[in-house]
């Protein structure tokens, strides 16, 4: 019988309590990077783990027979969907601590209906996405991805500023679509450089605009005025294909579109047409579907730097997300307020 964070223990109290019983649920291959030597002891003592290793399949007999004792889940990429059926088999489930960004792939409305608390590590995942975004903006303005290929082809020099008018990062305008956690972090990192930063976000207040040192504007204005447009909006029905043919047509010739957010934000057919024609450049880390069709011209265009969804946490970067999940789990056990809780109503506005 458990007490502790679920009743007896308060943040002030130091009652020794039995920890809640839990499972770690993510693709086991992630374990090596996620659980650093520094985090392992914290992970081990944070909960009474019903199985010694991460699991990814609730139907595995070892896992299946422990489900009725589960009170918390520490989840990550590869956790199966927590639908009503599986929740019926975990009647004691109280909380899900997600050691990754979006919870939308596994957390369902049924979790919230049953009062299961949910936290996400989106805060930690925002760091590498923002870093990657700033790096590709700096290199795309230098046309570095194109010049790398051009040099390979020419094996000679040209006056690059003649081939690429407006080359460089001096006094460029960067437009951020969406002042999400990532969008704001990008804005803060960009302040170290010589950019004018525009932001379009219907939910951004005047105070935040001024704190970020950016200029708020409409999406159309942003598209017309920016040298680089970087997408940081969540993927929602309301943002589906927000960058459509008309939006793309507002971009100036030679403008650069950066998508480290979600493929669904962009009408890929329309973008592909603008890229095949050579009118625009793009850095694309996310497409819809996630794996780009094998016959897409985007793989081979010189004006496209296409990466396989790597802006988010990779390798050692994933351990930051476990750290957030453990922070939350420890707060929960100590009866303290959670910092990164996701509520049902958030699902309509977050990534």
Give catalytic residue positions: 262, 288, 309
* Residue 132 near a copy of itself by CB under 8 A: yes
* Residue 211 near a copy of itself by CB under 8 A: no
* Residue 252 near a copy of itself by CB under 8 A: no
* Residue 131 near a copy of itself by CB under 8 A: yes
From candidates 292, 324, 325, 351, binder to a copy of itself by CB under 8 A: 292
Choose the binding region for a copy of itself from 30-38, 61-69, 206-214, 254-262 (rule: CB under 8 A).
Answer: 30-38
Shorter beta-carbon distance to a copy of itself: residue 9 or 144: 144
* Residue 122 near a copy of itself by CB under 8 A: no
Shorter beta-carbon distance to a copy of itself: residue 173 or 336: 173
* Residue 39 near a copy of itself by CB under 8 A: no
Comparing CA positions, the residue from 318, 317, 319 lying closest to residue 36 is 319
* Residue 26 near a copy of itself by CB under 8 A: no
**Cα 93 to Cα 22: distance, rounded to the nearest angstrom:** 9
* Residue 37 near a copy of itself by CB under 8 A: no
Q: How many residues bind a copy of itself (CB under 8 A)?
A: 62
* Residue 254 near a copy of itself by CB under 8 A: no
Site for a copy of itself in 188-207 (CB under 8 A): 189, 192-194
Choose the binding region for a copy of itself from 44-52, 79-87, 140-148, 339-347 (rule: CB under 8 A).
Answer: 140-148
**Cα 308 to Cα 287: distance, rounded to the nearest angstrom:** 9
Comparing CA positions, the residue from 339, 342, 175, 157 lying closest to residue 256 is 175
């Amino acid at each position: 019988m458990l007490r502790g964070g679920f009743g007896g223990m308060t943040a002030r109290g130091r009652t020794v309590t039995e920890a809640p019983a839990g499972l770690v649920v993510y693709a086991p291959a992630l374990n090596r990077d996620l659980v650093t030597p520094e985090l392992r002891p914290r992970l081990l003592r944070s909960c009474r783990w019903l199985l010694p290793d991460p699991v990814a399949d609730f139907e595995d007999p070892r896992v299946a027979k422990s489900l009725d004792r589960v009170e918390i889940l520490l989840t990550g990429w590869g956790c199966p969907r927590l639908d009503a059926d599986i929740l019926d088999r975990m009647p004691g489930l109280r909380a899900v601590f997600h050691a990754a960004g979006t919870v939308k792939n596994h957390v369902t409305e049924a979790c919230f209906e049953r009062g299961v608390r949910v936290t996400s590590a989106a805060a930690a995942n925002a760091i590498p996405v923002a870093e990657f975004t700033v790096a590709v903006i700096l290199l795309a303005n230098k046309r570095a991805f194109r010049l790398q290929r051009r040099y390979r082809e020419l094996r000679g020099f040209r006056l690059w500023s003649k081939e690429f008018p407006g080359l460089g990062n001096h006094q460029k305008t960067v437009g951020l679509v969406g002042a999400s956690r990532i969008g704001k972090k990008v804005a803060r990192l960009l302040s170290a450089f010589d950019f004018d930063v525009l932001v379009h976000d219907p939910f951004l207040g005047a105070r935040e605009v001024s704190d970020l040192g950016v200029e708020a504007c409409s999406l159309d204005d942003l598209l017309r005025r920016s040298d680089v447009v970087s997408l940081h909006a969540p993927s929602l029905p309301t943002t589906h294909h927000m960058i459509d043919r008309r939006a793309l047509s507002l971009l100036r010739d030679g403008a650069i579109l950066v998508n480290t957010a979600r493929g669904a934000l962009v009408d890929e057919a329309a973008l592909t047409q603008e890229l095949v024609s050579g009118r625009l450049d793009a850095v694309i880390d996310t497409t819809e579907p996630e794996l780009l069709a094998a016959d897409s011209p985007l793989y081979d265009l010189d004006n496209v730097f296409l990466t396989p969804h790597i802006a988010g946490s990779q390798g050692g970067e994933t351990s930051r997300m476990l750290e957030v999940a453990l922070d939350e789990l420890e707060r929960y056990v100590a009866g303290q307020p959670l910092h990164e809780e996701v509520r049902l109503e958030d699902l309509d506005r977050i990534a």
